[in-house]
Amino acid sequence: MINSSFEEPGEFSESVAHFSTLTKREVEVIQLIADGLVNKEIAEKMNISKRTVDTHRRNILSKIPAKSFSSLTIMAYRLRIIK
């Protein structure tokens, strides 16, 4: 059985609120990270510079209280933000 990453009663709704602050492009970056792409590949796929990908990643981590992108993608998947 998989343990939930939301242990406190309000933690789920709090996480949803954090994810709702993300832009469409930031969600797209999270999905591509979850798909296993590295920054250079994400930049090519989104037709943006690698520096812009870096900025998106930095902005994402400033909005979502996650310790790493691994934990962030797991949270996004469990919240059905990504597939």
pLDDT tens string 44-61:
999 999 999 999 999 999
* pLDDT(64) > 70: yes
Q: How confident is the model at residue 6 (pLDDT cuts 50, 70, 90)?
A: very low
CATH number for the domain including 24? 1.10.10.10
Residue 41 lies in a domain: yes
Range of the domain at 55: 11-78
Query: Could you give the number of structural domains in the chain?
Result: 1
pTM: 0.81
Condensed to tens digits (0 to 9), the pLDDT of residues 7-46 reads: 454 566 677 888 999 999 999 999 999 999 999 999 999 9
Asked if 14 and 64 touch (Cβ cutoff 8 Å), the reply is: no
* 3 domain residue, yes or no: no
pLDDT at 4: 44
Q: Is residue 27 situated within a structural domain?
A: yes
